[in-house]
Structure 1
Amino acid sequence: MTTKLYTKDEIVEKAKEIAHMIANTEQVEFFKKAEEQINDNQLVREKIASLKTLQKQAVNFQAIGKERAQKLVEDKIDKIQEEIDALPIVQEFKQSQVEVNELLQLVSNAIANNVTNEIIESTGGDQLRGETGSKVRNSQPGSCS
């Protein structure tokens, strides 16, 4: 039995199909809605604008060696960042990022594991030991090494 060999282009085409599927999941839809709500939220936009202004000030104070002023500004930055992070809408957005990343990791791991298992299987190896056929054959007693 001959196994079909695939080209890189065919694999990339399938990857695009999978990407399209992932982009159309509940997790990604929730992520997009959460991001839109954040961008539409006046309070969040104001806090982010303040954050950017303070970050510029911190860089300027650092550049001219005003360490005490820089520290005060950095403390304000931390406070505003905590206020932003405490907003339920931001927490939902961050959770949606985690869920999308978990989905991507799941797909990545599934591909890696299945490629490994197919290699082991196609060489007559031992999946339980995670060894390809050539390694199994060469590790048996009486084999020439």
Structure 2
Amino acid sequence: MTEKLYTKDDLIEKSKEIAHLIANTPEVEFFKKAEAQINENQHVRERIASMKSLQKQAVNFQHLGKEKALRLIEEKITKIEEEINEIPVVQQFKESQAEVNSLLQLVSNTIANNVTNEIIRSTGGDVLRGETGSYVENTTPGSCS
């Protein structure tokens, strides 16, 4: 019995299904709620706006070679970043962002590991040793030794 061969389009379609599943997990739902809370928080919005303004000034000072002014602006930016990071809703957002990133990494690693294992199994190899069964000494793909 021959296995069905899948096209790139088949894989893209399945990846859309996986994306839909991921987008509807508790981790992503919490992330969306945390992001909404940040967007609704006037204090956070004001601090972010201040930081963006200072970042633009920093770019200008850097372009003009004004090192002292640039250092002062960078210190203000750092202070605002620290202040923003102290806000509980921002901490929750960052934690939820890390959880979503971990989930994506887990799915990505699981796919990669299973592809490798499928290749090893389909060639009669040894999954525990991580070797395919198609290993032939001193040959390269496409050569006839």
The reply to whether TM is greater than 0.5 is yes
Report the AA paired with residue 63 of structure 2: A
Gaps of 5+ in 1: 139-144
- Is 1:91 matched with 2:91? yes
RMSD of aligned residue pairs (Cα, Å): 1.6
Give aligned pairs, total: 139
Match in the other structure for 1:132: 132
Report the AA paired with residue 126 of structure 2: D
Distance 2:87 2:23 in 1: 26
Distance 2:81 2:122 in 1: 53
Question: How does the TM-score come out when normalised to structure 2?
Answer: 0.90
Report the AA paired with residue 124 of structure 1: G
Q: Which has the larger share of helix?
A: 1
**Which of structure 1's runs of 4+ aligned residues deviate more than 3 A?**
none
Gaps of 5+ in 2: 138-144
How far residue 68 of structure 1 moved from its aligned partner, in angstroms, is 1.2
Distance 1:53 1:11 in 2: 44
Report the AA paired with residue 56 of structure 1: K
Please give the per-residue CA displacement for 1:107-132, whole angstroms capped at 9, x wherever unaligned: 11111111111111111101111000
The share of aligned pairs that are identical, in percent, is 73
Match in the other structure for 1:109: 109
How far residue 32 of structure 1 moved from its aligned partner, in angstroms, is 0.5
